[in-house]
Amino acid sequence: MNNFLKGLWKEHPVLRQLLGMCPTLAVTTTAINGLSMGLAVIFVLFFSSLIVSLIRKIVPSSVRIAVYTVIIATFVTIVDIFFKAQFPQISKALGPYVPLIIVNCIILGRCEAFASRYNVRESLLDALGMGIGFTWGLFVLGAVRELLGFSTILGIKILPSSFNPLVVMILPSGAFLVLGFMVAIMNKIEEKSKK
Amino acid sequence: MRENIKIIGILTIVCLGCALFLALTENMAKEKIAYNENKAIKDAIFNIVKECKDIEAINIKGKTVYKIFDKNNNLIGYGFLCEGEGYQGKIKIMTAVNNNFEKLLGIEIISSSETPGLGAKINEDFFKCQFKGLNIKDPIEYTKGKVRKDNEIKAITGATISSRSVVNILNKTIKELKSNIKVK
């Protein structure tokens, strides 16, 4: 169980390990984009961890990275095709960042550091924990940016029209700002709980 | 030697398995994706030209152009796909012009891979609507300040390159087609 929970908070992939910064900063202009990216990553992480864990004993260590990459690339391409077929709108919004999940270091990182060493059950728990952690991180980041930049969340108007949207939140600098605050809050809470 | 054979064997099996899996997925989704793309093109024309009742595809020098008819079966314009390089990849734009190639009826972005939140704003109405009724006797221009001419649009803040790409792509294709259609 601990393997599941650690990804949600203690070893949060985005806010603690600071992994997968490229999609984190790039796609979180709206909450829905962050959420879809997160769900795509959960799918890829779950199945890659499953396969990697299953074949961990027969893959020679000298070619393991190549094997993991091929497996990850396969699942990412499936997600990409699925989005194009079922959700053309989301596919349009995420653009090149779906195929780029292949090089998302969280996935290769979890395969290498965890799935290749533990049994299927533990690997899947780890993958789900990390995936959900990644998703809530991106969702919150996207929601804050959308709220301040467009005064909406998930397309629903929240702030009154007297509020002047801060364009900077939609620009890349806004992603860095919000992420910085989120990491800071996370550290503060951690510090308090230690005392 | 034994180790090498094992490595080659494992890699081959993994790659074959993945390829098989991908081929199956692709096969299942192929029709749906083609349908989506085709539907996007048709919807785009109907979206741009509200009076549009029917379209007919014709071929001009290897390029598909859609004749746009209103409800009395009068030719009100032409629709065609413009394609070119954007900031991060290809941009495909469905474009409609009136029947004497003097005015833009409007544009619709079919696909693009511009930066989400910045260049991707070329997909939004405030940008696309600027092209409605634009004069295309001369090439379209863009500005970062106030729009002063009837062949000018305002570029998106923070995404000048994407805005410029859209303008350039439109100018290029319109110029090509203009000469070819007038000849006809």
Q: What are phi and psi of B103, to 5 degrees?
A: -135, 145
- pLDDT of A114 reads 92
- pLDDT of B41 reads 75
pLDDT digits (tens, 9 = 90+) for B28-50: 999 998 888 778 777 888 888 88
Tokens 């221009």: give the residue: B141
- Asked if B6's CB is within 8 angstroms of A66's CB, the reply is no
- Highest mean pLDDT, choosing among A174-188, B34-48, B97-111, B140-154: A174-188
**HSE-CB for B143 with a 13 A CA cutoff:** 10
How far apart, in whole angstroms, are the C-alpha atoms of residue B174 and residue A22? Answer: 37
Q: Which residue of B has its CA nearest to A73?
A: B18
- Asked if A94's CB is within 8 angstroms of B116's CB, the reply is yes
How, if at all, do strands B141-143 and B152-154 pair? parallel
B contact test, residue of A36, A58, A71, A74 with most B CBs within 10 A: A74
Tokens 């002063």: give the residue: B148
Q: At what angle do helices A31-54 and A64-86 cross, to 10 degrees?
A: 140
- Per domain, the residue ranges of chain A are 2-9+28-194
CA A64 to the chain's CA centroid: 23
Mean predicted confidence (pLDDT) in B129-158: 87
Beta carbon pairs, A and B, within 8 Å: 78
Q: Which residue of B has its CA nearest to A94?
A: B116
Which residues on chain A are in Cβ contact (under 8 Å) with B120? 93, 95
- pLDDT of A194 reads 83
Taking only residues 172 to 191 of chain A, the set having a beta carbon closer than 8 angstroms to any beta carbon of chain B reads 172
- pLDDT of B177 reads 85
- pLDDT of A87 reads 87
pLDDT at residue B182 tops 70: no
Q: Which of A58, A96, A167 sits opposite B88 (nearest CB)?
A: A96
**HSE-CB for B75 with a 13 A CA cutoff:** 12
Tokens 């009100």: give the residue: B76
Residue A125's pLDDT band, with cuts at 50, 70 and 90, is: very high
Distance (Å) from the alpha carbon of A55 to chain B's nearest alpha carbon: 10
Residue B165's pLDDT band, with cuts at 50, 70 and 90, is: very high
- Asked if A95's CB is within 8 angstroms of B88's CB, the reply is yes
Residue B151's pLDDT band, with cuts at 50, 70 and 90, is: confident
pLDDT digits (tens, 9 = 90+) for A17-42: 999 888 899 889 889 989 999 999 99
How far apart, in whole angstroms, are the C-alpha atoms of residue A140 and residue B34? Answer: 35
How far apart, in whole angstroms, are the C-alpha atoms of residue A43 and residue A167? Answer: 32
Q: Write down the pTM of the prediction.
A: 0.74
pLDDT at residue B184 tops 60: no
Provide the phi-psi class of A151: left if phi over 0, else alpha when psi is between -120 and 50, else beta.
left
Mean predicted confidence (pLDDT) in B122-144: 88
pLDDT digits (tens, 9 = 90+) for A54-109: 999 988 888 999 999 999 999 999 999 999 898 888 887 787 888 889 988 899 99
A14 close to A23: Cβ distance less than 8 angstroms:
no
Q: What are phi and psi of A156, to 5 degrees?
A: -100, 130
- pLDDT of A163 reads 83
pLDDT digits (tens, 9 = 90+) for B52-94: 777 787 887 778 888 888 888 888 888 888 989 988 788 999 8
Complex ipTM tops 0.90: no
